Amino acid sequence: MSYLYRMEESIHSECINKKSGGDSRVIPTLTRGVTAPDDARIHTLTRGVTAPDHARIHTLTRGVTAPDDARIHTLTRGVTILLALLVLPVCLHAQLDSFNPLMQKEGKSGEAAASVLGRETAPVARTVEPELYVCGPNDVMSLVITMPVNVEAVLPVSADGSLVIPKVGAVPVGGKTLAEARREVTNVLKRKYPAFEGTLTLLQPRPILVKIRGEVKTPGLLRVTAGTPVSMALQMAAVEQEPESTTKLQLMQQGDGVSNPNYRQRLGARYFGSWETERRALRRIVIQHADGSTSRADIPMYEATRDGRYDPLLREGDIIIVPQRDVSTPTIAVLGAVQRPGVFEYMRGDRLSDLLRMGFGLDPTKTVIGAELTREGKESIDIPVSTLGGEGVNDMELEPGDRLIVYARRQSGNLGTAVVDGEVEQPGAYPIVPGETRLSELVKMAGGFTSQAWPGLSELYRRQIGIEGVAPDPSREKDRTFEKSPLVNEDTLYWSMNARLREGQVAVDFHRLFVAKQAAADVPLEDGDVLLVPRNTRTVYVYGQVNTHGFVPWSEGKDFEWYIEQAGGIGESADEDRAAVIKSNTRAWVKPDEAVIEPGDMIYVPHEPLVPVASTTELLAVVAAIAGSLAGVAGLVISILNTR
């Protein structure tokens, strides 16, 4: 019987009135007093039943005596269950009828959802947090109902900030966070429908217009969404608009600017962060809201913690003010063995753990041995490594000018790797001790040369690494080298070509080392060295002004003239006096009568000059003649003027 009581209580009174038409003869009344004794039970059972029903019950109970309690109890239970089964579908249908407006909109809601999802949506920078997102007009919400029916409705927020729910009314959500709006809608629906279960979600944030001012490249209006944080608006305003046309003179005057920082700026960014080049006060960004309230954005703190409170979401009508960094503003810094060293503006309430977070924590690639907090005019405070970043006793509040310096043990790499490829028995990478392992030892580890190898033409290459641990900028190195050079115009072409050919090749006399077996030519290796051993082709390449250029089989002891004859002889336009033997290992040009021709060498015979090459003496003579002629003309003019 207790189940029937709960069933009766769960049926909303509105549904009872709707189906009974306000009649007092309500069927669920039959369940009242089921536990009453004997005749009282039957009397209560029949209360509120129509006359024909009285007759039926009277017939059913005719002949039942008072002592027959068991029979009466069984009979009344059966009647009650029968009537409950008749009334339950009716009342549940009445309960569901209250949700008919939303159920009828289910198809339309699906179409609306498809329409919304079919639009081009703006990309989001991060997941919307219900406690931080402020609802407003044109937000698209999704009301998901799971009890007593399963239905979803797509509902926009009206211009006055209300969420209109059919058969319920307008629920004010504008200016409230998504979490507050969710609780408000749930409370309203539960008051209307006690059995309601469901939730309210944000389907699509509204488009808004905001203004940005201050230290940005492109101040003005920005079209974003209410799910856009301040940091994203800063990046959008940092994109500089290109002018319609830029002259070459303007490009020369502007230079590369910040987009191409110099070497010192790169070093500063590595050891001190972007403080030296940053002009914006990124910890004091102000957001003025349309309702008169203000918020503050702390971008370095958000990057460190990913806490949305430090990077608030924007609302319609917001004005973002990016102040200029004041050099007199107090600072704090975290330097040394952290992932992002940097200098930051000091804000009241900053703690040691905050500073370490802004440095992105300790550098996991280094062995940290300690830390020190230095303060202006006070003794330094030693910070144990075990407590760095903790929230306990050592998480002290910082003072203006504090510097946290994290010390690490120097990484001494005792092992390295060198690679040998080409004509060796076992090409590959081998472990070495940088500065100690010799080139000949690397060849032995690779099993020695093959029978087809030509060691004299091998090449050893080494990485060019600067102090930063990366390859130096070739353009910068070229400019620095040429700045104070004594080169004349005729030298610059060759110098520029040679600068481009700086490929990190190590100067090694492979013929002395591997052919003549002279240990003095054995060089030590460094980490990352690469040895290339070519195949002995046993040929010499002859080209230029010869009748038949190409590969000529190498023959030991043969001279320049013999190889020219094998190539068909000298051509008619050849300048034999300037012919040369190009050594394959050094690319040096050697006079034919001074060269020992080896496999892999090249012989080049140039074309005779189309314009005769004048000597320096001839050029000076021509210049002197011209100067004398000019002096004679000048003297004649002066004498004519003097006669007047």
The answer regarding whether domain 330-411 maps to CATH 2.120.10.70 reads: no
d(CA 470, CA 452): 37
Question: What is the per-residue pLDDT for 542?
Answer: 94
Residues 373-385 pLDDT 10s: 999 888 888 888 8
Between strands 140-147 and 602-605, the pairing is unpaired
Handedness of CA 245, 250, 252, 258 (dihedral sign): negative
Closest CA to 112 of 212, 228, 216, 204: 204
Mean pLDDT of 579-599: 88
- Domain 206-240+260-327, second-level architecture: Roll (3.10)
Range ranked top by mean pLDDT from 174-183, 360-369, 633-642:
174-183
Q: pLDDT confidence of 296, banded at 50, 70, 90?
A: very high
Output 395 or 257, whichever has higher pLDDT: 395
Q: Do domains 128-205 and 416-533 have the same CATH topology?
A: no
Amino acid 620: pLDDT: 67
Closest CA to 78 of 111, 50, 56: 56
Q: Which residue shows structure tokens 């490009």?
A: 251
Phi, psi at residue 586, to the nearest 5°? -110, -15
pLDDT at position 510: 87
More reliable by pLDDT, 393 or 486: 486
**Which tops the pLDDT comparison, 178 or 265?**
178
Q: Answer yes or no: is pLDDT of 190 > 80.
A: yes
Q: 289-294: long-range contacts at Cβ-Cβ below 8 A with a sequence spacing of 24 or more?
A: 289/315, 289/317, 289/318, 290/315, 290/316, 290/317, 290/318, 291/175
- Check pLDDT > 80 for residue 291: yes
Return the pLDDT at 569.
93
Fold classified for 416-533? Outer membrane lipoprotein wza fold like (3.10.560)
Where does the pLDDT of residue 502 fall: very low under 50, low under 70, confident under 90, or very high at 90 and above?
low
* 63-67, 111-115, 157-161, 475-479 — most confident range: 157-161
Does pLDDT of 269 surpass 90? Answer: no
CB 534 within 8 A of CB 454: yes
Q: What is the DSSP pairing of strand 530-533 with strand 459-461? A: antiparallel
| CATH number 3.30.300.180 is the correct assignment for the domain at 539-605 | no
**Residue 71: what pLDDT?**
57
Flag whether pLDDT at 496 surpasses 90.
no
183 touches 290 (CB < 8 A): no
Domain locations in the chain?
Answer: 2-97, 128-205, 206-240+260-327, 330-411, 416-533, 539-605
Question: Using CA atoms, how far apart are residues 124 and 169, in angstroms rounded to an integer?
Answer: 32
Sign of CA dihedral 284, 290, 291, 292: positive
110 pLDDT exceeds 60? Answer: no
Query: Residue 397 in 3-state DSSP?
Result: strand
Look at 144-153, 321-330, 334-343 and tell me which has the smallest mean pLDDT. 144-153
Strand order in the sheet with 367-374: 342-345, 331-336, 403-409, 367-374, 381-383
> Does 343 or 30 have the greater pLDDT score?
343
Residue range 84-101: mean pLDDT, rounded: 50
Average pLDDT value for the chain: 78
Task: Please state the three-class secondary structure of 382-393 as a single string.
Answer: EECHHHCCCCCC
Q: For every residue of 519-585, which 3-state class applies, written as one string?
A: HHHCCECCCCCEEEECECCCEEEEEECECCCEEEECCCCCCHHHHHHHCCCECCCECHHHCEEECCC
> Rounded to whole angstroms, how far apart are CA atoms 473 and 466?
9
75 falls in which pLDDT band (50, 70, 90)? low
| Strand, helix or coil for residue 633 | helix
The reported pLDDT for the residue numbered 509 is 87
- 128-205 maps to CATH 3.30.1950.10: yes
**Mean pLDDT calculated for residue range 591-602:** 89
Residues 426-468 pLDDT 10s: 999 999 999 999 999 999 999 999 999 988 888 899 987 766 5
Can you tell me the mean pLDDT for 25-39?
A: 40
d(CA 560, CA 284) in angstroms, rounded, equals 79
